[in-house]
Structure 1
Amino acid sequence: MNDVRERILGTAARLFSQHSCHQIGVDLIARESNVSKVTMYRYFQSKEALLLEVLKERMQAIEEALTCAIARNPSGRERLRAIFRWYESWFNQPDFQGCVFVAALYEYHAHPQVVSMAEAQRERLRELIRRALLDMIHPSVLDQLSRQMVFLLYGAIFFAQTGRKGAAAQDAWECANQLIDFAIQGRV
């Protein structure tokens, strides 16, 4: 991929993660990317188009990272635990500011493409969880359980963002672990 385009995307991703998407203007993105606005618009037609590309790349990166984490674990419970550990690691990054998908959805809730991208990210996460648990959870409760796991992870993001970084993923995992036990026992 083009180095200039990558630099613009990287700068925009950092700024969108650190600040409100609406707060960040194209002037700032261009200046911090060391390009002119004309150059920026050559690669991205609008700030919204740039945001969508940032979301698309972030979604792909998350999915790749979680897929690798899952693949290193033999059992369903261990695969799911790997997902929660990945989130814990993310929460503990010095630059963690919350989820860019949640922020973008909050700020662009009337923008159909942003809403669609946020929904797609949530569904990809649910599907990864579903596949991780496929060999241990009865199909009749698998979809419900995978949605509940996504709910726990999104709640953990909120708690991590509000200052409980250390405990957020662990607390969510403890709930997830109990839900798995309930599902195995047929009590979900």
Structure 2
Amino acid sequence: MHASEGTHVTSTVDPQTRTRILEVADALFYARGFQSVGMDDIRTGAGVSLKKLYAAFAGKEQLVAAVLAGRHATWEHGITAAVAAQDAPRDRLLAMYDFLEQWFADDTFRGCGFINAFGELGGTSPAVAEIARDHKDSFQRFVARLAADVVADVETAEELAAQLALLAEGAQTTAAIAGDASPARHARRAAAVLVDAATH
């Protein structure tokens, strides 16, 4: 019933309402988990009728996908800006970890939303699993481009990129569990050692 409602009235939901629903869903999913938050929680938080909620998003999986798309865009904007602020190729690589440290220090930080989504829903939702993999693949390619500016040898650059991405991923999980930003600093120091080893 809900899905069919969404298929013929989606266009009637104004962009501001859709944005409000997404903001509420993102905050609730990130703070409380994807499985524990129901569509009724989101409806209440966004101050919309259930009919309007399902008009905007045909089901919870579609809403989760939209939330993750927003998180991907925010992540890419933030990390790209942090990297672009640096001039030297080596500094651009290490700027990733400075960006992570700022993120980890935010009071709302609860780990990587994509890892959280995959952990909760990846086994039952192929769509969510694919979104999470695509996000991580995108980050790997981003790091690989940065590494290629530092290391001329293609194979060495690819290996360095894999190592640096792994450090970043590990830092996110560790910081979420520990509740502090220090894993970003540890990862940055380890990354500097790896970068210098690859360039000498």
Compute the TM-score of the two structures, normalised by the length of structure 1: 0.94
Separation of aligned partners in 2, 1:106 and 1:50: 17
8 A Cα contact 1:76 1:135, kept in partner: yes
Alignment of 1:9-48 (within 5 A): 9-48=22-61
* Correspondence for 2:73 among 36, 39, 60: 60
* Correspondence for 1:123 among 137, 140, 144: 137
Separation of aligned partners in 2, 1:166 and 1:87: 8
- Runs of at least 5 residues in structure 2 that lack an aligned partner in the other structure: 1-13
8 A Cα contact 1:129 1:146, kept in partner: yes
Q: Is 1:90 matched with 2:103?
A: yes
Separation of aligned partners in 1, 2:106 and 2:147: 27
1:65-90 per-residue CA deviation (whole Å, 9 max, x = no partner) reads 21121112111211112111111101
1:78-106 per-residue CA deviation (whole Å, 9 max, x = no partner) reads 11121111111010001111111011000
Q: Is 1:181 matched with 2:200?
A: no
Alignment partner, residue 171 of structure 2: 156
RMSD: 1.3
Separation of aligned partners in 2, 1:20 and 1:61: 19
* Correspondence for 1:143 among 139, 158, 171: 158
The more displaced of 38-47 and 63-72 is 63-72
Separation of aligned partners in 2, 1:5 and 1:123: 28
Instruction: Give the partner amino acid of 1:152.
Output: L
Alignment partner, residue 114 of structure 1: 128
Deviation at 1:141, TM superposition (A): 1.5
Report the number of matched residues. Answer: 185
* Correspondence for 1:168 among 183, 186, 189: 183
Alignment partner, residue 11 of structure 2: none
Local SS of the residue matching 2:108: coil
1:38–1:87 distance in 2 versus 1, CA, 3 Å? same
Structure 1: which 4+ aligned runs deviate by more than 4 Å? none
Q: Identity across aligned pairs (percent)?
A: 29
1:138-186 per-residue CA deviation (whole Å, 9 max, x = no partner) reads 211222211211111111111111125231100011111111122113x
Separation of aligned partners in 2, 1:135 and 1:106: 34
* Correspondence for 1:4 among 5, 14, 17: 17
8 A Cα contact 1:76 1:132, kept in partner: yes
Structure of greater Rg: 2
